[in-house]
Structure 1
Amino acid sequence: MEAIFHTQQQSYSHPYLFDSPYTRSFPHKKSLHLNTTNKYEGLRVSEEEYWLKYYEFDDVALEWNNGILEEKPVSDRESYDLYSWFLRLITQYSDVFKEGMLIGLEIGFKLKIGNKTTIRKPDLAFIHKDNPVQMSPQETTYKGCFDICFEFLSDSNTKAIERDTVVKKHEYEKYGVSEYYIFDRLGDETAFYYLNSKGKYKEIKPDRNGVIKSRVLKNFQFRLDDIYNRPVDKILANDSVYSEYVMVDYQKEYKRAEAERKKAEKSDRKAEAERKKAEKSDKKAEAERKRAETERKRAETERKRAEAERKKAEAERKKAEKSDKKAEVERKKAEAERKKAKAERERADRLEKELMTLRKSLEKSSKS
Protein backbone atom coordinates (compact mmCIF):
# COMPACT_ATOMS: atom_id res chain seq x y z
CA MET A 1 0.00 0.00 0.00
CA GLU A 2 1.30 3.46 -0.87
CA ALA A 3 1.91 5.93 1.90
CA ILE A 4 0.66 8.97 -0.05
CA PHE A 5 -2.35 9.27 -2.38
CA HIS A 6 -2.45 12.34 -4.59
CA THR A 7 -3.76 11.26 -7.98
CA GLN A 8 -7.03 12.70 -9.29
CA GLN A 9 -8.26 9.43 -10.80
CA GLN A 10 -7.48 5.78 -10.15
CA SER A 11 -8.97 2.63 -11.69
CA TYR A 12 -9.79 -0.32 -9.45
CA SER A 13 -10.54 -3.76 -10.81
CA HIS A 14 -12.01 -6.19 -8.32
CA PRO A 15 -11.58 -9.87 -9.05
CA TYR A 16 -13.99 -10.68 -6.18
CA LEU A 17 -16.87 -8.66 -7.63
CA PHE A 18 -19.56 -10.64 -9.39
CA ASP A 19 -19.99 -8.47 -12.48
CA SER A 20 -17.46 -6.91 -14.83
CA PRO A 21 -14.54 -4.92 -13.43
CA TYR A 22 -15.60 -1.53 -12.01
CA THR A 23 -13.81 1.77 -12.54
CA ARG A 24 -14.20 4.36 -9.77
CA SER A 25 -13.10 8.00 -9.99
CA PHE A 26 -12.26 9.74 -6.71
CA PRO A 27 -12.14 13.56 -6.45
CA HIS A 28 -8.79 15.09 -5.70
CA LYS A 29 -8.09 15.48 -1.98
CA LYS A 30 -5.10 16.73 -0.06
CA SER A 31 -2.24 14.28 0.40
CA LEU A 32 -2.91 11.78 3.18
CA HIS A 33 -0.08 10.30 5.23
CA LEU A 34 -1.36 6.85 6.10
CA ASN A 35 -0.38 4.31 8.72
CA THR A 36 0.60 1.18 6.77
CA THR A 37 0.62 -1.22 9.71
CA ASN A 38 -2.50 -3.17 8.60
CA LYS A 39 -0.97 -6.49 9.71
CA TYR A 40 -4.15 -8.53 9.07
CA GLU A 41 -5.26 -6.89 5.81
CA GLY A 42 -5.06 -9.40 2.93
CA LEU A 43 -4.31 -12.39 5.17
CA ARG A 44 -5.80 -15.59 3.73
CA VAL A 45 -7.79 -17.67 6.23
CA SER A 46 -10.58 -20.18 5.94
CA GLU A 47 -14.15 -19.28 6.90
CA GLU A 48 -13.97 -21.67 9.85
CA GLU A 49 -10.73 -20.07 11.06
CA TYR A 50 -12.30 -16.59 10.65
CA TRP A 51 -15.29 -17.49 12.82
CA LEU A 52 -13.10 -19.13 15.46
CA LYS A 53 -10.26 -16.65 15.64
CA TYR A 54 -10.96 -13.37 13.86
CA TYR A 55 -14.71 -12.62 13.99
CA GLU A 56 -14.57 -11.44 17.62
CA PHE A 57 -10.98 -10.24 17.38
CA ASP A 58 -10.09 -7.61 19.99
CA ASP A 59 -7.30 -5.73 18.22
CA VAL A 60 -9.16 -4.64 15.08
CA ALA A 61 -12.54 -5.17 13.37
CA LEU A 62 -12.07 -7.71 10.61
CA GLU A 63 -14.36 -8.74 7.77
CA TRP A 64 -13.94 -11.81 5.58
CA ASN A 65 -14.07 -11.60 1.80
CA ASN A 66 -14.10 -15.04 0.22
CA GLY A 67 -11.01 -16.25 2.08
CA ILE A 68 -9.28 -12.88 2.61
CA LEU A 69 -9.30 -10.74 5.77
CA GLU A 70 -10.19 -7.07 5.38
CA GLU A 71 -9.62 -4.57 8.16
CA LYS A 72 -12.24 -1.93 8.95
CA PRO A 73 -10.42 1.40 9.36
CA VAL A 74 -10.30 3.26 12.65
CA SER A 75 -12.68 6.21 12.66
CA ASP A 76 -11.58 9.82 12.97
CA ARG A 77 -13.20 12.14 15.52
CA GLU A 78 -15.54 13.91 13.10
CA SER A 79 -16.75 10.65 11.57
CA TYR A 80 -17.45 9.40 15.08
CA ASP A 81 -19.41 12.59 15.82
CA LEU A 82 -21.47 11.98 12.67
CA TYR A 83 -21.98 8.34 13.66
CA SER A 84 -23.03 9.31 17.20
CA TRP A 85 -25.46 11.94 15.95
CA PHE A 86 -27.10 9.58 13.48
CA LEU A 87 -27.15 6.69 15.95
CA ARG A 88 -28.95 8.88 18.47
CA LEU A 89 -31.41 9.92 15.75
CA ILE A 90 -32.31 6.45 14.49
CA THR A 91 -32.32 4.98 18.02
CA GLN A 92 -34.99 7.48 19.02
CA TYR A 93 -36.94 6.62 15.87
CA SER A 94 -36.72 2.90 16.64
CA ASP A 95 -37.83 3.47 20.24
CA VAL A 96 -40.90 5.40 19.10
CA PHE A 97 -42.12 3.45 16.08
CA LYS A 98 -40.83 0.00 17.05
CA GLU A 99 -40.52 -1.24 13.46
CA GLY A 100 -37.67 -3.58 14.27
CA MET A 101 -34.26 -3.72 15.92
CA LEU A 102 -31.10 -1.68 15.45
CA ILE A 103 -27.85 -3.67 15.28
CA GLY A 104 -24.29 -2.48 15.91
CA LEU A 105 -21.19 -3.36 17.92
CA GLU A 106 -19.49 -5.14 14.99
CA ILE A 107 -22.24 -7.74 14.58
CA GLY A 108 -21.77 -9.37 11.19
CA PHE A 109 -23.82 -11.31 8.67
CA LYS A 110 -22.88 -13.78 5.98
CA LEU A 111 -23.55 -13.03 2.31
CA LYS A 112 -23.41 -16.01 -0.05
CA ILE A 113 -23.83 -14.94 -3.66
CA GLY A 114 -23.12 -17.58 -6.30
CA ASN A 115 -19.77 -19.12 -5.53
CA LYS A 116 -18.61 -16.10 -3.53
CA THR A 117 -19.05 -15.70 0.26
CA THR A 118 -18.33 -12.66 2.38
CA ILE A 119 -18.92 -11.80 6.01
CA ARG A 120 -19.61 -8.10 6.57
CA LYS A 121 -19.87 -6.05 9.74
CA PRO A 122 -21.78 -2.86 8.88
CA ASP A 123 -21.26 0.04 11.27
CA LEU A 124 -25.01 -0.07 11.87
CA ALA A 125 -27.78 -2.28 10.56
CA PHE A 126 -31.53 -2.62 10.94
CA ILE A 127 -33.69 -5.75 11.03
CA HIS A 128 -37.31 -4.96 10.26
CA LYS A 129 -39.98 -6.65 12.37
CA ASP A 130 -41.41 -8.18 9.17
CA ASN A 131 -38.07 -9.81 8.29
CA PRO A 132 -38.55 -13.61 8.48
CA VAL A 133 -35.17 -13.98 10.22
CA GLN A 134 -34.99 -12.24 13.57
CA MET A 135 -32.06 -12.14 16.01
CA SER A 136 -32.17 -13.34 19.60
CA PRO A 137 -30.54 -11.30 22.40
CA GLN A 138 -27.78 -13.89 22.88
CA GLU A 139 -26.70 -14.17 19.24
CA THR A 140 -23.46 -12.50 18.13
CA THR A 141 -24.01 -12.86 14.40
CA TYR A 142 -27.05 -12.41 12.21
CA LYS A 143 -28.13 -15.38 10.11
CA GLY A 144 -30.41 -13.48 7.74
CA CYS A 145 -30.20 -10.44 5.46
CA PHE A 146 -30.23 -7.02 7.07
CA ASP A 147 -32.96 -4.71 5.79
CA ILE A 148 -30.72 -1.63 6.02
CA CYS A 149 -26.95 -1.31 6.30
CA PHE A 150 -25.15 1.90 7.32
CA GLU A 151 -21.47 2.65 6.76
CA PHE A 152 -19.56 5.71 8.03
CA LEU A 153 -16.44 6.46 6.00
CA SER A 154 -13.02 7.52 7.17
CA ASP A 155 -11.00 9.34 4.51
CA SER A 156 -7.72 8.00 5.95
CA ASN A 157 -7.99 4.82 3.85
CA THR A 158 -8.86 5.10 0.17
CA LYS A 159 -9.10 1.34 -0.21
CA ALA A 160 -11.63 1.17 2.64
CA ILE A 161 -13.62 3.99 1.05
CA GLU A 162 -13.70 2.09 -2.21
CA ARG A 163 -14.72 -1.09 -0.37
CA ASP A 164 -17.73 0.68 1.24
CA THR A 165 -18.81 2.68 -1.81
CA VAL A 166 -18.24 0.06 -4.50
CA VAL A 167 -17.70 -3.45 -3.24
CA LYS A 168 -20.22 -3.55 -0.41
CA LYS A 169 -22.77 -1.66 -2.45
CA HIS A 170 -22.48 -4.38 -5.07
CA GLU A 171 -22.66 -7.16 -2.48
CA TYR A 172 -25.61 -5.69 -0.60
CA GLU A 173 -27.49 -5.12 -3.83
CA LYS A 174 -26.95 -8.74 -4.95
CA TYR A 175 -27.81 -10.16 -1.54
CA GLY A 176 -31.00 -8.14 -1.23
CA VAL A 177 -30.28 -5.51 1.45
CA SER A 178 -33.27 -3.20 0.93
CA GLU A 179 -31.44 0.04 1.69
CA TYR A 180 -27.81 1.04 1.96
CA TYR A 181 -26.71 4.34 3.51
CA ILE A 182 -23.17 5.67 3.11
CA PHE A 183 -22.10 8.61 5.27
CA ASP A 184 -18.99 10.64 4.44
CA ARG A 185 -18.19 13.52 6.82
CA LEU A 186 -16.69 15.40 3.86
CA GLY A 187 -19.82 14.87 1.78
CA ASP A 188 -17.97 13.52 -1.27
CA GLU A 189 -19.18 9.92 -1.01
CA THR A 190 -22.40 10.36 0.96
CA ALA A 191 -25.15 8.40 -0.81
CA PHE A 192 -28.36 6.55 -0.02
CA TYR A 193 -29.78 3.65 -2.02
CA TYR A 194 -32.93 1.55 -2.11
CA LEU A 195 -33.50 -1.76 -3.86
CA ASN A 196 -36.04 -1.37 -6.65
CA SER A 197 -38.44 -4.02 -7.98
CA LYS A 198 -35.76 -5.25 -10.37
CA GLY A 199 -33.29 -5.86 -7.56
CA LYS A 200 -31.11 -2.89 -8.48
CA TYR A 201 -30.00 -0.06 -6.25
CA LYS A 202 -31.47 3.33 -7.07
CA GLU A 203 -30.34 6.47 -5.31
CA ILE A 204 -32.63 7.97 -2.69
CA LYS A 205 -32.53 11.63 -3.58
CA PRO A 206 -33.53 14.43 -1.23
CA ASP A 207 -36.91 16.02 -1.87
CA ARG A 208 -37.29 19.73 -2.65
CA ASN A 209 -36.76 20.48 1.04
CA GLY A 210 -33.51 18.52 1.14
CA VAL A 211 -35.05 15.64 3.12
CA ILE A 212 -34.03 11.99 2.72
CA LYS A 213 -36.93 9.57 3.31
CA SER A 214 -36.51 5.86 3.95
CA ARG A 215 -38.69 3.37 2.10
CA VAL A 216 -38.11 0.60 4.66
CA LEU A 217 -38.83 2.72 7.73
CA LYS A 218 -42.07 4.44 6.82
CA ASN A 219 -41.65 7.49 9.03
CA PHE A 220 -37.88 7.82 9.15
CA GLN A 221 -36.50 10.92 7.50
CA PHE A 222 -33.68 13.40 7.98
CA ARG A 223 -32.45 16.56 6.33
CA LEU A 224 -29.31 15.96 4.28
CA ASP A 225 -27.58 19.14 5.49
CA ASP A 226 -28.21 18.16 9.09
CA ILE A 227 -25.83 15.21 8.96
CA TYR A 228 -23.05 17.79 8.56
CA ASN A 229 -24.49 20.53 10.80
CA ARG A 230 -25.74 18.01 13.39
CA PRO A 231 -28.25 20.16 15.31
CA VAL A 232 -28.84 19.23 18.94
CA ASP A 233 -31.92 17.19 19.83
CA LYS A 234 -33.92 20.10 21.27
CA ILE A 235 -33.65 21.90 17.94
CA LEU A 236 -34.61 18.73 16.06
CA ALA A 237 -37.60 18.19 18.35
CA ASN A 238 -39.02 21.52 17.17
CA ASP A 239 -38.41 20.68 13.51
CA SER A 240 -41.34 19.11 11.62
CA VAL A 241 -38.91 16.71 9.87
CA TYR A 242 -37.99 15.09 13.21
CA SER A 243 -40.73 16.05 15.66
CA GLU A 244 -42.56 12.71 15.35
CA TYR A 245 -39.70 10.77 16.91
CA VAL A 246 -37.02 13.00 18.45
CA MET A 247 -37.37 13.62 22.19
CA VAL A 248 -41.05 12.72 22.17
CA ASP A 249 -41.15 12.52 25.99
CA TYR A 250 -39.56 15.96 26.16
CA GLN A 251 -42.08 17.23 23.61
CA LYS A 252 -44.98 15.76 25.62
CA GLU A 253 -43.59 17.30 28.82
CA TYR A 254 -42.93 20.56 27.02
CA LYS A 255 -46.46 20.58 25.59
CA ARG A 256 -47.83 19.71 29.03
CA ALA A 257 -45.76 22.47 30.62
CA GLU A 258 -46.76 24.83 27.81
CA ALA A 259 -50.41 23.90 28.33
CA GLU A 260 -49.97 24.47 32.07
CA ARG A 261 -48.26 27.77 31.35
CA LYS A 262 -51.05 28.84 29.02
CA LYS A 263 -53.60 27.62 31.56
CA ALA A 264 -51.83 29.61 34.26
CA GLU A 265 -51.66 32.62 31.95
CA LYS A 266 -55.36 32.19 31.22
CA SER A 267 -56.04 31.95 34.96
CA ASP A 268 -53.89 35.02 35.53
CA ARG A 269 -55.75 36.86 32.78
CA LYS A 270 -59.06 35.71 34.25
CA ALA A 271 -57.95 36.76 37.74
CA GLU A 272 -56.76 40.08 36.35
CA ALA A 273 -60.08 40.50 34.55
CA GLU A 274 -61.89 39.61 37.75
CA ARG A 275 -59.69 42.05 39.68
CA LYS A 276 -60.40 44.77 37.14
CA LYS A 277 -64.08 43.84 37.18
CA ALA A 278 -64.07 43.99 41.00
CA GLU A 279 -62.15 47.25 40.86
CA LYS A 280 -64.67 48.57 38.36
CA SER A 281 -67.49 47.35 40.61
CA ASP A 282 -65.80 49.00 43.58
CA LYS A 283 -65.46 52.23 41.63
CA LYS A 284 -69.07 51.95 40.50
CA ALA A 285 -70.17 51.22 44.09
CA GLU A 286 -68.09 54.18 45.29
CA ALA A 287 -69.66 56.36 42.64
CA GLU A 288 -73.10 55.07 43.66
CA ARG A 289 -72.26 55.74 47.30
CA LYS A 290 -71.12 59.24 46.46
CA ARG A 291 -74.20 59.79 44.30
CA ALA A 292 -76.42 58.45 47.11
CA GLU A 293 -74.58 60.70 49.59
CA THR A 294 -75.12 63.62 47.26
CA GLU A 295 -78.79 62.66 46.93
CA ARG A 296 -79.04 62.30 50.71
CA LYS A 297 -77.48 65.71 51.21
CA ARG A 298 -79.72 67.20 48.54
CA ALA A 299 -82.75 65.51 50.17
CA GLU A 300 -81.61 66.81 53.55
CA THR A 301 -81.27 70.29 52.09
CA GLU A 302 -84.71 69.93 50.52
CA ARG A 303 -86.08 68.68 53.83
CA LYS A 304 -84.56 71.60 55.69
CA ARG A 305 -85.83 74.01 53.04
CA ALA A 306 -89.29 72.40 53.23
CA GLU A 307 -89.12 72.59 57.02
CA ALA A 308 -88.19 76.24 56.81
CA GLU A 309 -91.01 76.79 54.34
CA ARG A 310 -93.37 74.92 56.65
CA LYS A 311 -92.28 76.99 59.64
CA LYS A 312 -92.62 80.15 57.60
CA ALA A 313 -96.07 79.09 56.43
CA GLU A 314 -96.97 78.22 60.01
CA ALA A 315 -95.78 81.64 61.12
CA GLU A 316 -97.70 83.20 58.29
CA ARG A 317 -100.75 81.17 59.27
CA LYS A 318 -100.43 82.17 62.90
CA LYS A 319 -99.90 85.78 61.84
CA ALA A 320 -102.98 85.54 59.62
CA GLU A 321 -104.91 83.97 62.46
CA LYS A 322 -103.79 86.79 64.73
CA SER A 323 -104.78 89.30 62.07
CA ASP A 324 -108.09 87.53 61.65
CA LYS A 325 -108.66 87.63 65.41
CA LYS A 326 -107.73 91.33 65.54
CA ALA A 327 -109.97 92.00 62.59
CA GLU A 328 -112.75 90.09 64.33
CA VAL A 329 -112.24 92.18 67.45
CA GLU A 330 -112.23 95.31 65.34
CA ARG A 331 -115.27 94.07 63.51
CA LYS A 332 -117.05 93.30 66.75
CA LYS A 333 -115.99 96.70 68.15
CA ALA A 334 -117.20 98.38 65.01
CA GLU A 335 -120.42 96.42 65.27
CA ALA A 336 -120.80 97.50 68.88
CA GLU A 337 -120.06 101.10 67.89
CA ARG A 338 -122.56 100.76 65.07
CA LYS A 339 -125.16 99.35 67.46
CA LYS A 340 -124.35 102.03 70.01
CA ALA A 341 -124.59 104.71 67.33
CA LYS A 342 -127.87 103.24 66.21
CA ALA A 343 -129.13 103.19 69.74
CA GLU A 344 -127.98 106.78 70.21
CA ARG A 345 -129.58 107.73 66.98
CA GLU A 346 -132.79 105.97 67.91
CA ARG A 347 -132.73 107.67 71.35
CA ALA A 348 -132.06 110.98 69.67
CA ASP A 349 -134.93 110.35 67.30
CA ARG A 350 -137.13 109.41 70.20
CA LEU A 351 -136.10 112.44 72.19
CA GLU A 352 -136.65 114.60 69.15
CA LYS A 353 -140.12 113.12 68.72
CA GLU A 354 -140.84 113.68 72.39
CA LEU A 355 -139.59 117.25 72.09
CA MET A 356 -141.73 117.80 69.06
CA THR A 357 -144.70 116.39 70.86
CA LEU A 358 -143.99 118.62 73.85
CA ARG A 359 -143.54 121.64 71.66
CA LYS A 360 -146.78 120.93 69.91
CA SER A 361 -148.45 120.45 73.23
CA LEU A 362 -147.06 123.77 74.55
CA GLU A 363 -148.08 125.53 71.43
CA LYS A 364 -151.51 124.10 71.72
CA SER A 365 -151.75 125.14 75.36
CA SER A 366 -150.59 128.62 74.66
CA LYS A 367 -153.19 129.09 72.04
CA SER A 368 -155.91 127.97 74.23
Structure 2
Amino acid sequence: MAQQLQERAELQRSGSTLPRMTYEEFLDWADEDTWAEWVDGEVIILSPASLLHQALDTFLLSVLTSFVSFRDLGIVLGPPFQMKTGPDLPGREPDVIFVAREHLDRLRDVYLDGPADLVVEIVSPDSRTRDSQDKLHEYEEGGVPEYWVLDPFRREAKFYQLGEDGSYYFVAPDENGVYESAVLKGLRL
Protein backbone atom coordinates (compact mmCIF):
# COMPACT_ATOMS: atom_id res chain seq x y z
CA MET A 1 0.00 0.00 0.00
CA ALA A 2 2.80 2.44 0.86
CA GLN A 3 4.47 1.72 -2.47
CA GLN A 4 1.17 2.31 -4.30
CA LEU A 5 0.79 5.70 -2.58
CA GLN A 6 4.36 6.65 -3.46
CA GLU A 7 3.85 5.65 -7.12
CA ARG A 8 0.62 7.65 -7.27
CA ALA A 9 2.31 10.74 -5.83
CA GLU A 10 5.19 10.45 -8.30
CA LEU A 11 2.79 10.15 -11.26
CA GLN A 12 0.83 13.19 -10.10
CA ARG A 13 3.99 15.29 -9.59
CA SER A 14 5.47 14.32 -12.95
CA GLY A 15 2.30 15.18 -14.85
CA SER A 16 2.28 11.72 -16.39
CA THR A 17 -0.99 10.14 -17.27
CA LEU A 18 -2.23 7.17 -15.35
CA PRO A 19 -2.96 3.91 -17.13
CA ARG A 20 -6.55 3.28 -18.22
CA MET A 21 -8.53 1.34 -15.64
CA THR A 22 -12.00 0.09 -14.83
CA TYR A 23 -14.11 1.90 -12.27
CA GLU A 24 -13.49 -0.93 -9.81
CA GLU A 25 -9.71 -0.57 -10.33
CA PHE A 26 -10.07 3.18 -9.85
CA LEU A 27 -11.86 2.65 -6.52
CA ASP A 28 -9.10 0.26 -5.42
CA TRP A 29 -6.41 2.70 -6.59
CA ALA A 30 -7.86 5.85 -5.01
CA ASP A 31 -7.84 6.55 -1.31
CA GLU A 32 -9.77 9.06 0.78
CA ASP A 33 -7.18 11.75 0.04
CA THR A 34 -7.47 11.34 -3.74
CA TRP A 35 -9.37 14.13 -5.45
CA ALA A 36 -10.07 12.60 -8.83
CA GLU A 37 -12.83 11.52 -11.15
CA TRP A 38 -13.09 8.51 -13.45
CA VAL A 39 -14.26 9.17 -17.02
CA ASP A 40 -14.31 6.46 -19.69
CA GLY A 41 -11.40 4.57 -18.15
CA GLU A 42 -9.26 7.64 -17.53
CA VAL A 43 -8.44 9.21 -14.19
CA ILE A 44 -8.84 12.97 -14.04
CA ILE A 45 -6.94 14.52 -11.14
CA LEU A 46 -8.87 17.53 -9.87
CA SER A 47 -7.19 20.88 -9.26
CA PRO A 48 -7.06 22.27 -5.73
CA ALA A 49 -10.10 24.39 -4.89
CA SER A 50 -9.78 28.15 -4.48
CA LEU A 51 -10.63 29.92 -1.24
CA LEU A 52 -13.85 31.25 -2.80
CA HIS A 53 -14.82 27.74 -3.95
CA GLN A 54 -14.08 26.27 -0.51
CA ALA A 55 -16.00 29.00 1.31
CA LEU A 56 -19.10 28.45 -0.84
CA ASP A 57 -18.82 24.67 -0.53
CA THR A 58 -18.47 24.87 3.27
CA PHE A 59 -21.46 27.22 3.49
CA LEU A 60 -23.67 24.98 1.32
CA LEU A 61 -22.65 21.81 3.15
CA SER A 62 -23.47 23.49 6.46
CA VAL A 63 -26.85 24.89 5.39
CA LEU A 64 -27.98 21.76 3.56
CA THR A 65 -26.77 19.42 6.30
CA SER A 66 -28.69 21.43 8.92
CA PHE A 67 -31.84 21.51 6.77
CA VAL A 68 -31.69 17.79 5.96
CA SER A 69 -30.76 16.68 9.49
CA PHE A 70 -33.47 18.76 11.17
CA ARG A 71 -36.10 17.17 8.93
CA ASP A 72 -34.49 13.70 8.89
CA LEU A 73 -34.56 13.67 5.08
CA GLY A 74 -31.38 11.70 4.36
CA ILE A 75 -27.70 12.61 4.17
CA VAL A 76 -25.57 15.39 2.66
CA LEU A 77 -22.03 14.55 1.56
CA GLY A 78 -19.14 16.50 0.08
CA PRO A 79 -15.85 15.66 -1.58
CA PRO A 80 -14.01 13.47 -1.82
CA PHE A 81 -16.97 11.11 -2.28
CA GLN A 82 -17.71 9.47 -5.61
CA MET A 83 -21.06 9.18 -7.39
CA LYS A 84 -21.57 6.65 -10.20
CA THR A 85 -25.00 7.24 -11.72
CA GLY A 86 -24.93 4.33 -14.17
CA PRO A 87 -22.78 1.49 -15.52
CA ASP A 88 -21.76 3.39 -18.67
CA LEU A 89 -21.39 6.77 -17.00
CA PRO A 90 -18.39 8.42 -15.33
CA GLY A 91 -17.59 8.31 -11.63
CA ARG A 92 -17.78 11.92 -10.49
CA GLU A 93 -16.92 13.71 -7.27
CA PRO A 94 -19.56 16.43 -6.84
CA ASP A 95 -19.08 19.34 -4.48
CA VAL A 96 -22.33 18.51 -2.68
CA ILE A 97 -24.68 15.54 -2.91
CA PHE A 98 -27.93 14.92 -1.10
CA VAL A 99 -29.22 11.36 -0.84
CA ALA A 100 -32.82 11.02 0.33
CA ARG A 101 -33.61 8.61 3.14
CA GLU A 102 -35.41 6.27 0.73
CA HIS A 103 -32.23 6.00 -1.39
CA LEU A 104 -29.67 5.44 1.37
CA ASP A 105 -29.34 1.84 0.17
CA ARG A 106 -27.36 3.25 -2.79
CA LEU A 107 -24.50 4.26 -0.49
CA ARG A 108 -21.38 2.11 -0.56
CA ASP A 109 -18.24 2.56 1.51
CA VAL A 110 -16.54 4.98 -0.90
CA TYR A 111 -19.16 5.89 -3.49
CA LEU A 112 -22.83 6.34 -4.27
CA ASP A 113 -24.04 3.56 -6.58
CA GLY A 114 -26.76 5.42 -8.45
CA PRO A 115 -27.93 9.00 -8.70
CA ALA A 116 -28.06 11.40 -5.78
CA ASP A 117 -31.35 13.22 -5.36
CA LEU A 118 -29.60 16.59 -5.58
CA VAL A 119 -26.13 17.43 -6.88
CA VAL A 120 -24.34 20.77 -6.61
CA GLU A 121 -21.24 21.64 -8.61
CA ILE A 122 -19.31 24.82 -7.85
CA VAL A 123 -17.59 26.09 -10.97
CA SER A 124 -13.86 26.72 -10.99
CA PRO A 125 -12.18 28.50 -13.90
CA ASP A 126 -10.92 25.16 -15.26
CA SER A 127 -14.21 23.30 -14.72
CA ARG A 128 -16.76 25.62 -16.36
CA THR A 129 -17.37 23.44 -19.45
CA ARG A 130 -17.15 20.20 -17.47
CA ASP A 131 -19.70 21.39 -14.87
CA SER A 132 -22.13 23.23 -17.16
CA GLN A 133 -22.09 20.85 -20.13
CA ASP A 134 -20.47 17.44 -19.56
CA LYS A 135 -21.86 16.84 -16.08
CA LEU A 136 -25.21 18.38 -16.99
CA HIS A 137 -25.67 15.70 -19.67
CA GLU A 138 -24.24 12.91 -17.49
CA TYR A 139 -26.42 13.74 -14.49
CA GLU A 140 -29.46 14.07 -16.74
CA GLU A 141 -28.77 10.67 -18.31
CA GLY A 142 -28.03 9.19 -14.89
CA GLY A 143 -31.35 10.40 -13.47
CA VAL A 144 -30.25 13.02 -10.91
CA PRO A 145 -33.57 14.80 -10.15
CA GLU A 146 -32.06 18.21 -9.36
CA TYR A 147 -28.75 19.79 -10.37
CA TRP A 148 -27.35 23.17 -9.37
CA VAL A 149 -24.39 24.80 -11.14
CA LEU A 150 -23.01 27.66 -9.05
CA ASP A 151 -20.41 29.98 -10.56
CA PRO A 152 -19.01 32.26 -7.85
CA PHE A 153 -16.64 33.98 -10.29
CA ARG A 154 -19.48 35.10 -12.57
CA ARG A 155 -21.94 35.35 -9.65
CA GLU A 156 -24.37 33.05 -11.47
CA ALA A 157 -26.51 30.16 -10.34
CA LYS A 158 -28.30 27.78 -12.70
CA PHE A 159 -30.86 25.32 -11.42
CA TYR A 160 -32.06 22.28 -13.35
CA GLN A 161 -34.86 19.88 -12.54
CA LEU A 162 -35.49 16.56 -14.25
CA GLY A 163 -38.83 16.44 -16.04
CA GLU A 164 -41.06 13.41 -16.40
CA ASP A 165 -39.56 12.89 -19.87
CA GLY A 166 -36.10 12.42 -18.33
CA SER A 167 -34.78 15.77 -19.59
CA TYR A 168 -33.45 18.65 -17.53
CA TYR A 169 -35.36 21.90 -17.51
CA PHE A 170 -33.78 25.16 -16.41
CA VAL A 171 -35.71 26.69 -13.52
CA ALA A 172 -35.16 30.38 -12.96
CA PRO A 173 -35.46 31.97 -9.53
CA ASP A 174 -38.68 33.92 -8.93
CA GLU A 175 -39.06 37.68 -9.42
CA ASN A 176 -37.36 38.23 -6.04
CA GLY A 177 -34.35 36.14 -7.03
CA VAL A 178 -35.38 33.20 -4.82
CA TYR A 179 -35.07 29.61 -5.96
CA GLU A 180 -37.19 26.88 -4.35
CA SER A 181 -35.84 23.34 -4.47
CA ALA A 182 -38.13 20.65 -5.87
CA VAL A 183 -36.26 17.88 -4.04
CA LEU A 184 -35.79 19.58 -0.68
CA LYS A 185 -39.31 20.89 -0.12
CA GLY A 186 -39.31 24.18 1.74
CA LEU A 187 -35.68 25.03 0.96
CA ARG A 188 -35.48 28.47 -0.57
CA LEU A 189 -32.27 30.15 -1.66
Judge same fold: TM > 0.5, yes or no.
yes
Match of 1:88 among 48, 57, 62: 62
Match of 2:120 among 147, 150, 167: 150
The answer (yes or no) to whether the contact 2:85–2:113 under 8 Å persists in 1 is no
In the alignment of these two chains, the number of paired residues is: 178
Corresponding residue of 1:62 = 36
How far the C-alpha of 1:147 sits from its partner, in A, is 0.7
- Larger helix proportion of the pair: 1
- For the pair 1:216 / 2:183, whether they are aligned, the reply is yes
Corresponding residue of 1:257 = none
Structure 1, unmatched stretches of 5+, are: 1-36, 223-368
How far the C-alpha of 1:44 sits from its partner, in A, is 2.4
Give runs of aligned pairs for residues 33-72 of structure 1, distance below 5 A. 39=15, 43-54=19-30, 56=31, 58=33, 60-72=34-46
The answer (yes or no) to whether the contact 1:40–1:69 under 8 Å persists in 2 is no
Structure 2, unmatched stretches of 5+, are: 1-12
Mark the CA change 1:211 to 1:145 in structure 2 (over 3 Å): closer, same or farther. Answer: same
Match of 1:106 among 80, 83, 96: 80
- Larger strand proportion of the pair: 2
The answer (yes or no) to whether the contact 2:65–2:75 under 8 Å persists in 1 is no
Mark the CA change 1:41 to 1:122 in structure 2 (over 3 Å): closer, same or farther. Answer: farther
Give runs of aligned pairs for residues 211-250 of structure 1, distance below 5 A. 211-222=178-189
Corresponding residue of 2:9 = none
Q: Aligned partners of 2:134, 2:17: CA distance in 1, in Å?
A: 16
What letter corresponds to residue 122 of structure 1 in structure 2? P
Mark the CA change 1:152 to 1:144 in structure 2 (over 3 Å): closer, same or farther. Answer: same
- For the pair 1:199 / 2:169, whether they are aligned, the reply is no
Corresponding residue of 1:342 = none
Mark the CA change 1:80 to 1:66 in structure 2 (over 3 Å): closer, same or farther. Answer: same
How far the C-alpha of 1:214 sits from its partner, in A, is 0.4
Q: Aligned partners of 1:91, 1:112: CA distance in 2, in Å?
A: 26
Mark the CA change 1:40 to 1:194 in structure 2 (over 3 Å): closer, same or farther. Answer: farther
- For the pair 1:141 / 2:123, whether they are aligned, the reply is no
How far the C-alpha of 1:49 sits from its partner, in A, is 2.4
- Measured against aligned partners, the alpha-carbon deviations of 1:161-198 in whole angstroms (never above 9, x if no partner) come to 21111111100000100011111112365311110111
Corresponding residue of 1:32 = none
Compare CA radii of gyration and give the structure with the larger one: 1
Q: RMSD across aligned C-alpha pairs, in angstroms?
A: 2.4
- For the pair 1:128 / 2:104, whether they are aligned, the reply is no
The answer (yes or no) to whether the contact 1:38–1:71 under 8 Å persists in 2 is no
For residue 221 of structure 1, give the secondary structure of its aligned residue in structure 2.
coil
Mark the CA change 1:79 to 1:212 in structure 2 (over 3 Å): closer, same or farther. Answer: same
What letter corresponds to residue 128 of structure 1 in structure 2? A
Q: Aligned partners of 1:88, 1:181: CA distance in 2, in Å?
A: 16
For residue 154 of structure 2, give the secondary structure of its aligned residue in structure 1.
coil
What's the TM-score, normalizing by structure 1?
0.45
Corresponding residue of 2:89 = 117
For residue 60 of structure 2, give the secondary structure of its aligned residue in structure 1.
helix
What's the TM-score, normalizing by structure 2?
0.83
For residue 216 of structure 1, give the secondary structure of its aligned residue in structure 2.
coil
How far the C-alpha of 1:83 sits from its partner, in A, is 1.4
